[in-house]
Amino acid sequence: MDFETWWLIFVPLVFALGWIASRVDIRQMLSETRTLPNSYFKGLNFLLNEEPDRAIDAFVEVAKLDPETTELHFALGSLFRRRGEMERAIRVHQSLLSRADLPHADRESAQHELAQDYLKAGMLDRAEQAYEQVLDTRFAVPAVRALIRIYESEHDWPRAIEAVKKLRALVDEPVPQLAHYQCEQAVAALSANPPRLDAAGAALDAADHAAAPLRGQKAGQASEARIAMLRAQLARMDGKPEAERAYLASVLDIAPEYASLVAPSLLESYRRLGQQQEGLSLLMTHYQRYPSLDTFNVVFRELRTQQGLGPAWAFARESLRAHPTLLGLDRLLEAELATRDGQAEGQGGDAKSATPASLPGGVPFGEQASGADLGLLRSLIHRHTQRLDRYACNVCGFEARHFYWQCPGCNAWETYQPRRLEELK
């Protein structure tokens, strides 16, 4: 191949141009670096060394020296909010919004950040106003979700329902708690003086419609059970005992794990209709398939009332063998001591002359332990079972003696299982 002489000029020229370009870039970088305050690099170094307090102080100094550093202000505001310094976070974002030259996109971001500051600070009125100002921006979805949380905390269920409708118009996703919002409206109507039965019925119809997409799924059992329980309450207040019983019994089929919540009311509804034996038989059959402590307690007490202590203790013995729990034993001892006290009162207060209860097989219970021994045993067991006789949220772990559809600790819905702590272990 012939050697081209012009290559002797072209190749060195390319290298020279590349060298000049690199020198220009280096000089530009050095020039930009010299314009940054030393506090900026100190702040970065503190962040890398996981010293956020000293990093914040360094960045604050940079912000004072150069108020135009928008990105740095956003970073400072986020750091303040994470540390719980809400007043400082609010001031940072308010100072950004006060700038007339702030770009439109940055203004929307600052408004959204300020709304988050207000929400975390518990300033719900201001948070609501701030979120409403970004409903027509790219932050519409998180803003609507935040508004839903605000309306929930204020128990403003009509506005929460409207906010859910806005959310569903923006994103195609189910909102399971919508049925509970309708149920809360029904509870308010039933609790009014006088009760507003028509309004409660309309709210429950809306709850049925909201729960329809999850009907038949495990995820929808809680809302279905709650709707049935409220319809039973409505039927009772409307003078329809048979409808009340039907709604309560339906919980055993549509949400069998929630039977423990309706067992006392269900048995009472059968009793009002003079069918307590059928009610007891239904609960005993359900307990064999879905054992729970509260249902066990209801069945045991009703067996004592209808059939006497022998059948009740036979049921209890078999149940505790299959599902041994300290809470179950505690409830048994409580019932036994209550019976002994009643027998003693019926015989003029002479506890010693009370007829001893008999265990299955005809063995008198009094031969196993005296009343004093039983009282001591029950007090010792009860002391240990107090911490187990609670419901617990499976999200935040908040414990409560009463069952909640919405956790009082983290405000999440359907996080309580209808079982006591001991049954979950």
Q: Find the helix or strand (DSSP H, E) in which 354 lies.
A: none
Per DSSP, the chain holds a count of helices (H) and strands (E) of: 20, 2
What is the distance between the alpha carbons of residues 396 and 411, in angstroms, rounded to a whole number? 10
Task: Determine the residue type at 362.
Answer: G
Query: Does residue 107 contact residue 134 with C-beta atoms inside 8 Å?
Result: no
What is the distance between the alpha carbons of residues 200 and 182, in angstroms, rounded to a whole number? 9
Binding-site entries for Fe cation: 393, 396, 407, 410
Mention every residue, 6+ apart, whose C-beta is less than 8 A from residue 198: none
The number of residues making up the chain comes to 425
Query: Does residue 365 contact residue 354 with C-beta atoms inside 8 Å?
Result: no
Mention every residue, 6+ apart, whose C-beta is less than 8 A from residue 320: 328, 329, 332
DSSP class of residue 364 equals B
What is the distance between the alpha carbons of residues 56 and 51, in angstroms, rounded to a whole number? 9
Query: Does residue 180 contact residue 226 with C-beta atoms inside 8 Å?
Result: yes
Binding-site entries: 393, 396, 407, 410
Picking from 412, 369, 375, the residue whose alpha carbon sits closest to that of residue 394 is: 412
Query: Does residue 195 contact residue 237 with C-beta atoms inside 8 Å?
Result: yes
Query: Does residue 234 contact residue 204 with C-beta atoms inside 8 Å?
Result: yes
What is the distance between the alpha carbons of residues 298 and 142, in angstroms, rounded to a whole number? 46
What is the distance between the alpha carbons of residues 233 and 168, in angstroms, rounded to a whole number? 31
The β-bridge relationship of strands 391-392 and 399-400 is: antiparallel
